[in-house]
Amino acid sequence: MTQRRSVSRRLRRGLGIIGLIGTVLLLAAVAFFYSFTFTHLDPQAAMMRAIKEMLEHVALPLIVLLVPVTIMVLRVIRQAFVPLAEAAAEIEAARGHERGFRIDASQMPAEAVPFTEAVNDLLTRLDESAMRQEAFAADVAHELRTPLALLSLELDRLDHDDAVRLKKDVAAMRRLIDQLMLLAQIDADAAAQIAPEPTSLADVASDVVGSIAPVIIAEGKMISLDTDEPALIVNARREAVAAALRNLIENATRVTPVGGTIQVRVGPDATLAVRDEGPGLTPDRLRDLVQRHRRADHASKTGAGLGLAIVERIMAAHGGRLTTDPATRELALRFPEP
């Protein structure tokens, strides 16, 4: 592996070489001067006298001078790179809140300012590109909702064998549009740094289970809710958390056979978990499925592979994680402790 070039190491090496060359030249000049001063002595005595004079009047002062100078030079070099280390720490601290982040160039050395400004300009262009993509997705989704609603109304009036199938297709398209709008909203909220609000996970779970239970029961399946800690409050965006939980329940419904039960659990920590009667997901498989447009074997054939990607994005926006336990066939939303 190629060794990285270190500016600090190159500075130290360069200063060391300069000091060594200067010392050698100084000693050579002194030796040449003393060769004339001690001409009245025999060669051996002149050499010993010259060596003694150089040690006392040249080498010792050089050592006394070079030691503190070396210490100060090393300290100055380290301090010169402190702003870069602080900038790196700020960048790392902004993980999860990259949108709108810029490096503070006010404390940067003059030599590093062009590089800092170039990075900030790149971040600005990336933010603008992301905003354009989000706005496009939101606009398209919004414009499609009205014609789909009208189409659904027309299908309600249609007395034909294919009407039911067409209505299901339209409902799937509306579901996709809702997912696209939700993704755009999550990204927009994160970009605007909208502060989450205190949210009861138990209340969210109760609302979601209550709204989706009739559909699950109509399919011949059951759903249960276990709230270990009904008073647990986390800082979150309620609608986004509800959407994440609803996606997990819908996934669990698809893999649970008729007569089976989907179990929703709140707690014991800042956790919302959904357990199904399917084969379970391994961590590697989950990492693959959270990539947009990847489908599980049990995924809806009319969907767009966005379900788990949306859940993962929601949890990332809240500083949490989507985890899986294949042994218990459970997917969990784990939020930071309040």
CATH code where residue 232 lies: 3.30.565.10
Give the domain range for residue 65.
Answer: 7-80
* CB neighbour list of residue 84: distance below 8 Å, 6 or more residues apart: 108, 112
Same domain? 11 vs 55: yes
pLDDT at 302: 39
DSSP 308: H
DSSP state at residue 81: T
Do residues 151 and 167 both lie within one domain? Answer: yes
Cα-based angle 190, 195, 200 (whole degrees, multiple of 5):
110
Instruction: Based on the fold, state whether residues 75 and 183 are members of the same structural domain.
Output: no
Angle at 14 between CA 9 and CA 20, to 5 degrees: 125
Number of domains in the chain: 3
Residue 238 CB coordination number (10 Å): 16
DSSP 110: G
Q: What are phi and psi of 325, to 5 degrees?
A: -130, 95
User: pLDDT 10s digit of each residue in the chain, 338 long?
Assistant: 455 666 667 777 777 787 778 777 777 776 666 665 655 556 666 667 666 767 776 777 777 777 777 788 778 777 777 888 888 888 787 776 666 778 888 778 777 888 888 888 888 888 787 777 767 766 776 677 777 777 777 777 777 777 777 877 777 777 777 766 766 666 655 555 556 788 888 888 888 888 888 888 988 889 888 886 655 788 888 888 888 888 888 888 888 888 888 999 887 788 888 998 888 888 888 887 776 544 444 444 433 345 787 788 888 877 888 888 888 888 989 888 76
Based on the fold, state whether residues 312 and 209 are members of the same structural domain: yes
Q: What pLDDT is attached to residue 256?
A: 87
The confidence score (pLDDT) of residue 270 equals 84
d(CA 5, CA 10): 8
| 68 and 117 assigned to the same domain | no
Regarding whether 229 and 171 lie in a shared domain, the answer is: no
Which pLDDT value is given to residue 304? 34
Task: Identify the three-state secondary structure at position 262.
Answer: strand
Does residue 96 lie within any of the structural domains? no
Count of all residues that appear for the chain in the document: 338
HSE at residue 176, side-chain half, CA atoms within 13 A, is: 18
